């Protein structure tokens, strides 16, 4: 079972729309693979997209799922874990899963969803406290960090590929998500804040270039390694939202080159944290989805299923240009080819 995590500790990089399109394209291209999507984000935007988006009441459908006899979300599963944080309780993973195609006809039928939940924010303080409790003979932090891995262990024979959408933070639930991933997809924008965010990401996950040695003993990487656990490896850097018409402009190109130089340096000094050996094979350029992306996002619709022409979004008729739609399809297919 391969597990991919979509994450960047900086918001606004287009992570959710990129993960939505990538996951649905991957599932469509691999109909024999059983795909599990885990939305570890309190905003639950990916879940709402899979369930129908704004136009098709994805938010209302998510509320129905949250209000069911069993709260079929990541928050519902964590709620089950709170009374038994250090030992795996009896639970049925299937109780917490949803089939998005039951709610949204445009989603491939081979996708299952562990939905996101705003309850994560309420749970965060309790989970952090439990993780930092001192218990003789028990590594409380690892026991809590393993919550999602415990869930995946129950379904490892049922799914071939897992995609985890992680919150743009490094909160305890994000750490739980990232520790369960084998490979990371990091979306970046062509701006200097994204460059700094990538540097921060490597510090947070791998403990690289920390401002002081004092932080090393508390670092995510240190604590996982001390417990004999593998760290996720960076699998792909998605240079997202480049100009639609001409690729990266000169201003963008300077920032992107700087990011690539940082990657080249890390590939030499820390090759063990990557699945690739050169920048070209580990990066992909994604043009700005523009209006086509806005319409697809609003309708909870993958680009391959989106019609061109005038489509209605919240009472407005919006034009989707076929050539732009095909550009979007091509861009996502290029990303998926790396998975």
State the helix-helix crossing angle for 119-131 and 172-179, rounded to 10 degrees.
80
Would you state the pLDDT for residue 238? Answer: 87
**pLDDT truncated to tens, each residue of the chain (339 aa)?**
899 999 987 666 678 889 999 999 999 999 999 999 999 999 999 999 999 988 888 899 999 999 888 999 999 999 999 999 999 999 999 999 999 999 999 999 999 999 999 999 999 999 999 998 888 888 999 999 999 999 999 999 999 999 999 988 889 999 999 999 999 998 887 665 666 667 778 888 888 775 566 667 778 888 899 888 999 999 998 887 655 444 444 556 666 777 788 888 888 988 998 999 998 889 888 877 778 878 888 889 999 998 876 665 655 666 667 888 888 899 899 999 999
The model's pTM = 0.91
The DSSP result for 10-70, as a single string, is SS-SSHHHHHHHHHHHHHHH-TTS-EEEEEE-TT-HHHHHHTTTTTTTHHHHHHHHHTSSS
Q: 3-state DSSP: the chain helix, strand, coil percent, rounded to 5?
A: 50, 15, 35
What CATH number should be reported for the domain holding residue 33? 3.40.50.300
Task: Return the structure tokens found at 313.
Answer: 């979004």
Total number of domains in the chain: 1
Q: Using an 8 Å Cβ cutoff, are 276 and 282 in contact?
A: yes
Whole-number Å distance between alpha carbons of 277 and 264:
9
Would you state the pLDDT for residue 317? Answer: 65
Whole-number Å distance between alpha carbons of 235 and 282:
6
Q: Domain of residue 277: give its range.
A: 2-336
3 state SS of 285? strand
Residue 311 to residues 46, 127, 153, 336: CA-CA distances in angstroms?
22, 44, 43, 27
């Amino acid at each position: 079972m391969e597990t991919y995590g979509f994450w960047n500790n900086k918001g606004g990089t287009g992570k959710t729309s990129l993960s939505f399109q990538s996951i649905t394209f991957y599932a469509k291209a691999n109909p024999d693979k059983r795909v599990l999507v885990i939305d570890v984000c309190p905003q639950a935007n990916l879940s709402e997209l899979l369930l129908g988006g704004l136009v098709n009441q994805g938010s209302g459908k998510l509320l129905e799922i949250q209000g069911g006899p069993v709260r079929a979300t990541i928050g519902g599963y964590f709620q089950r874990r709170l009374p038994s944080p250090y030992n795996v309780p009896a639970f049925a993973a299937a109780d917490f899963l949803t089939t998005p195609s039951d709610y949204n006809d445009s989603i491939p039928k081979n996708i299952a969803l562990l939905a996101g939940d705003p309850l994560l924010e309420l749970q965060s303080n309790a989970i952090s406290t439990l993780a930092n409790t001192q218990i003789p003979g028990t590594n409380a932090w690892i026991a809590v960090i393993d919550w999602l891995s415990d869930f995946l262990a129950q379904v490892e024979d049922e799914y071939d590929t897992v995609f985890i959408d992680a919150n743009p933070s490094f909160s305890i639930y994000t750490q739980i998500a990232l520790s369960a991933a084998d490979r990371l997809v990091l979306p970046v924008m062509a701006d200097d804040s994204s460059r700094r965010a990538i540097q921060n990401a490597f510090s947070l996950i791998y403990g690289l270039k920390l401002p002081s040695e004092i932080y090393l003993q508390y670092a995510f990487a240190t604590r996982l390694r001390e417990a004999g656990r593998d760290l996720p490896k960076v699998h792909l850097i998605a240079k997202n939202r480049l100009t639609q018409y001409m690729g990266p402009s000169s201003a963008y190109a300077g920032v992107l080159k700087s990011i690539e130089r940082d990657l080249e340096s890390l590939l030499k000094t820390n090759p063990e944290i990557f699945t690739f050996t050169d920048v070209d094979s580990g990066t992909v350029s994604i043009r700005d989805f523009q209006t086509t992306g806005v319409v697809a996002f609003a309708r909870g619709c993958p680009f391959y299923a989106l019609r061109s022409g005038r489509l209605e979004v919240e009472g407005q008729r919006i034009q989707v240009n076929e050539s732009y739609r095909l550009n979007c399809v091509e861009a996502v297919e290029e990303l998926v080819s790396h998975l």
